[in-house]
Structure 1
Amino acid sequence: MATVLVCDDSPLARETLRRSVATIPGVTRVLAASSGEEVLARWPVERPSLVLMDVRMPGIGGTEATRRLIALHPEACVLMMTVAEDVDGVARAIAAGARGYVVKDATREELAATVVQSLTDVAGRRHADPATGLAGAVPQPTLTEREMQVLTGMSRGRSNAEIGRELYLSEDTVKTHARRLFRKMGAADRAQAVAVGFRWGLVH
């Protein structure tokens, strides 16, 4: 049974999300916070299974709140929420320890699938090997040097065109390398690939 803490500075967005999350199987309690500061104050008391954190908020913002929360409580599980695919903000939050992201205009089914997967990961970590933090060995793919360069560029928030300029490649060639590394990493998009890359220590 899981508790989810929803953090968004918009009262309407917060309430809409709270209602959507409350219908997800396995979620027994949904809390709401209006700022990153509130999450930092409440997490040690409530200890939610998952935090849904808006990337851009007034005050310290979602990315910095995530960094501080995970620095203080490494076991915290945070998913970022963003209006569009804000790869730069998401990548910085993932670098700080967020587990992934969900777009705010995701369908209810997409939101539910992402939350359920995150909660499953949390449950898996509880039964993990304490030495490795992994529930069994996960085979990591071997990326080519070029794929590593593309992944590194993504982790720094670079667009495909910017990565192409840095590597003297066409944008189409960068996209080809990106598709290959997504396939190898089991990632649906660049933000998920960056998340996996940070988790596996491929990018720093």
Structure 2
Amino acid sequence: MVATVLVCDDLPLAREAMRRMVAAVPGVTRVVGAASGEEALQRWPVERPSLVIMDVRMPGIGGVEAARRLLARHPEANVLMATMAEDGDGVARAVASGARGYLVKDVSREELATAVLQALQDVSRRRGGNRTRAVLTGRAPVLTEREQQVLVGMSRGRSNAEIGRELFLSEDTVKTHARRLFRKLEAADRAQAVAVGFRWGLVR
């Protein structure tokens, strides 16, 4: 896998920190930066990156609107939103426009690598008709109360351990609920599960 990733964040330090973390992901050969949504829109046709990591909140048109415009002009674009843990509204609007999911800004290196690799591997699947779209052609999946609670926790950027503490469950039990949740939503990972959840209105 040979991939270019575009990191868009208006804060130079945050942008550079994310750039360094992404550059360490296996298969990523080049990371370019953009300081605004406007710049990301200008650079995408030139760079044709395999993945865009777009900050949700930025001056100017902002990350959500930039993602919407980018995906409207280039439906093949692959976008992950970078967000603070509680910015669910921005993530929901971006996902509704076609973003494949989100990253919490204080994500660990391991979690970032997993999310980036998953997003890059999904490029071909999305071009061929993604699983999320297929799920939405049927009825909304029926979740148990615990599965719903776990999904809400994921949408807020909580780790399995944090979700467990909030629900008074062990981390292993949370993982069990998460696996069942992924099967019901036909999601490969947390980001896709949250994306499906937002689209079905299971989380807000």
TM-score over 0.5 for the pair = yes
Amino acid at match of 2:4: T
> In 1, are the aligned partners of 2:140 and 2:200 still within 8 Å (CA)?
no
1:143-193 deviations in Å (ceiling 9; x for gaps): 24999xx8xxx8xx9xxxxxxxxxxxxxx9xxxxxx79835226676x754
Amino acid at match of 1:37: E
1-structure distance, mates of 2:186, 2:130: 17
> In 1, are the aligned partners of 2:54 and 2:63 still within 8 Å (CA)?
yes
TM-score, normalisation: structure 2: 0.71
The residue number in structure 1 matching 2:196 is: 196
Evaluate the alpha carbon distance shift between residue 105 and residue 186 of structure 1 in structure 2; reply closer, same or farther with a 3 A threshold: farther
1-structure distance, mates of 2:109, 2:142: 37
Which structure: larger Rg?
1
Amino acid at match of 1:57: M
The residue number in structure 2 matching 1:28 is: 29
> What RMSD, in angstroms, separates the aligned Cα atoms of the two structures?
3.3
The residue number in structure 2 matching 1:165 is: none
> In 2, are the aligned partners of 1:81 and 1:102 still within 8 Å (CA)?
yes
1:131-151 deviations in Å (ceiling 9; x for gaps): xx248x97778624999xx8x
Gaps of 5+ in 2: 156-166, 168-176
The residue number in structure 1 matching 2:185 is: 185
The residue number in structure 2 matching 1:16 is: 17
Amino acid at match of 2:33: A
Gaps of 5+ in 1: 158-171, 173-178
> In 2, are the aligned partners of 1:141 and 1:185 still within 8 Å (CA)?
no
Matched position secondary structure for 1:37? helix
1-structure distance, mates of 2:142, 2:85: 30
TM-score, normalisation: structure 1: 0.71
The residue number in structure 1 matching 2:99 is: 98
> In 2, are the aligned partners of 1:85 and 1:103 still within 8 Å (CA)?
no
Number of aligned residue pairs: 170
2-structure distance, mates of 1:54, 1:121: 20
Evaluate the alpha carbon distance shift between residue 2 and residue 80 of structure 1 in structure 2; reply closer, same or farther with a 3 A threshold: same
Amino acid at match of 2:60: G
Q: Percent identity?
A: 63
> In 2, are the aligned partners of 1:3 and 1:27 still within 8 Å (CA)?
yes
Matched position secondary structure for 2:121? helix
More deviation in 82-91 or 41-50? 82-91
